[in-house]
Structure 1
Amino acid sequence: MHLSPFASAEPTPESLAHYAHTFGLPAAQDPLLSYTEHVVKWDSRTRTPRFVVERVSSTSIAGQAARKEQFKEETTLEPRFRNRLRDFKGTGLDRGHLAAAANHKDDQGAMDDTFVMSNVAPQLPAFNRGYWQQLERFVRGLAPQFDNVYVITGPLYLPTAQRSNRDSGALLMEYMVIGTPPAMVHVPNYYFKVVIGCRKQAGRDVVAVAAFVLPNQAIEPTTNLRQFLVPLGALEAAAGLKFMPHAQQVFTDAAWQGLDETTAALTVRGIKQLQLPSPPQLLQQPAHDNSAGGTRSLGASLLSLATTRHDLVHLCAVVECKVTLIEMQQAVRAVKRAKQPMP
């Protein structure tokens, strides 16, 4: 028998562990990048953020920091693992912010940080300058209503409803990539935004949560924002992320289940003007066993949340989740301008 110099005839768990580390284990170059007012978890495979976390407040949106529009590469990332300015050139795609620049007007450094390419992912112009901006304005509109608003934003890759030719039971995943092989930048076909509003109310700490998923495409500006609500639990499964791990240790399983049930009750369905690659099978409310039988009403779901030790509520149950007429008009103009791609 031929024996490799890296193996023994009867390997033990200890020797296997030792040999696995001989050359070092393969390591993803996915650092956590901290900036003045936001944090990025980088994904070196897609060359986009895995997620971006920021805090928005009345103070952060009210400053006088200038929007310089000067994008720059994140030089702490190896060139082969980062997105580059030239990757976007000639693609017709925008460098879409995940942490919105206008959320950080209180500090010039924080504003400038949002133009570092680690905060950028490819977006269609009509989406970036249209409904995505409406959602960002909606988030800023929450700042006066809460002590702090925490926002988690990231790309999402979802298969379409079309079936694979080889296997009728499999869904088909299709999305674009840009750049130069092999260092390609992936173009997400969806984006998510988890919004968490925190405030004190009647002597209690209230945590209001909503999760939105939007397709990376032109969206009719008058579309109801609640069209894009998804259950937090389903989004976590699709994204492979736990968005609020500390809070999940505080609130009961029943509270989180109630939050998802409330989402299902609040979501607007059947909007005809949108012909979207629909993700209902992936992001629908999962079935739950209920000792009382049947699905609880919206009122019952809200009651179950309010009677826990802490108040976990759905954001759209305590504020109006909609975009304003002014925002719609701005979005219409933005979509028209989007016919001319950014340089």
Structure 2
Amino acid sequence: AKGTPEQIVSYEGMTISYNPAKHVPNWVAWELTADETRGKEPRAQNFQANESVAGCADPWDYSYSGYDRGHMAPASDMKWSRNAMKESFYMTNICPQVKSFNSGTWKRLEEKCRTWAQCDSAIVIIAGPVLTDSITESIGDNRVAVPKRFFKIIASPYANPPRGIAFILNNGKNKGGLQEAAVSIDSVESLTGHDFFSTLPDDIERLVESQCRFHYWSTLKPTEK
């Protein structure tokens, strides 16, 4: 979005637009392939600040806040590389999340994305906080913004035909679960002001961004290899 403070940070497994004013990412984007979902790298343990990123939060900003350090790109999507795993624990990839949401609906959607990557051989995922909502709460010495909602976009540009779906989720309870939260990518772009797929050919962009077919995605099953 125009005027949004950002520093673009490129990591091995993801690209991040970091917001130095809010001390959380604007968005985190990554590709997930079927092969990557089968990685064996163990989960990293240590969250750390990325000193080269202006305004990066510190792990202890979250201490005693009542909020989880919630991954935008999940650690389990980075099991294919030790370095990608380590970088997913940088605070540039983290937002304050309500514990029951982080370990509940958000986690379920992460697991679904891994299934979808196995079905389609590769998907593109973009996740982040909705920073156009009025932010009324912050935590820690750095005053890290606590988002009221999060978005996640999943696009399968290589599927035939290409398809996409998105979700807008409350940072807390989500009545009706993922099905109620499913929206088109267009509606996330309208809400956040970000234009995510401007680099895709126009016809694919229109097709992928206007869809919201939750039933189709919910019934995908990986093919046995």
Q: TM-score band (shorter)?
A: 0.7 to 0.9
Unaligned runs of 5+ in 2: 221-225
Residue 63 of structure 1 corresponds to: 39
The TM-score with structure 2 as length reference comes to 0.87
Q: Secondary structure at the match of 1:251?
A: helix
Note if 1:179 corresponds to 2:168: no
CA RMSD of aligned residues (A): 2.4
Note if 1:115 corresponds to 2:89: yes
Distance in structure 2 (CA, Å) of the matches to 1:118 and 1:231 = 26
Aligned-residue offset at 1:246: 1.5
Residue 197 of structure 1 corresponds to: 156
Aligned-residue offset at 1:196: 0.7
- Paired residues of 1:96 and 1:122 also in contact (CA < 8 A): yes
Residue 236 of structure 1 corresponds to: 189
Mapping 1:155-166, distance limit 5 Å? 155-157=129-131, 159=133
State the AA in 2 paired with 1:142: W
- Paired residues of 1:88 and 1:179 also in contact (CA < 8 A): yes
Note if 1:215 corresponds to 2:113: no
- Paired residues of 2:156 and 2:162 also in contact (CA < 8 A): yes
Distance in structure 1 (CA, Å) of the matches to 2:165 and 2:189 = 13
Q: Secondary structure at the match of 2:157?
A: strand
Note if 1:88 corresponds to 2:40: no
Q: Secondary structure at the match of 1:217?
A: coil
- Paired residues of 1:226 and 1:321 also in contact (CA < 8 A): no
Q: Secondary structure at the match of 1:96?
A: strand
- Paired residues of 2:14 and 2:28 also in contact (CA < 8 A): yes
State the AA in 2 paired with 1:112: K
Give the total of aligned pairs.
218
- Paired residues of 1:130 and 1:219 also in contact (CA < 8 A): no
> Which of 131, 147, 172 is the matching residue for 1:188?
147
Query: 1:205-237 deviations in whole A, cap 9, x for unaligned?
Result: x321001100000346xx442211123222212
Flag the structure with more relative contact order, 1 or 2, with Cα contacts below 8 A and sequence separation at least 6.
2
Aligned-residue offset at 1:117: 0.6
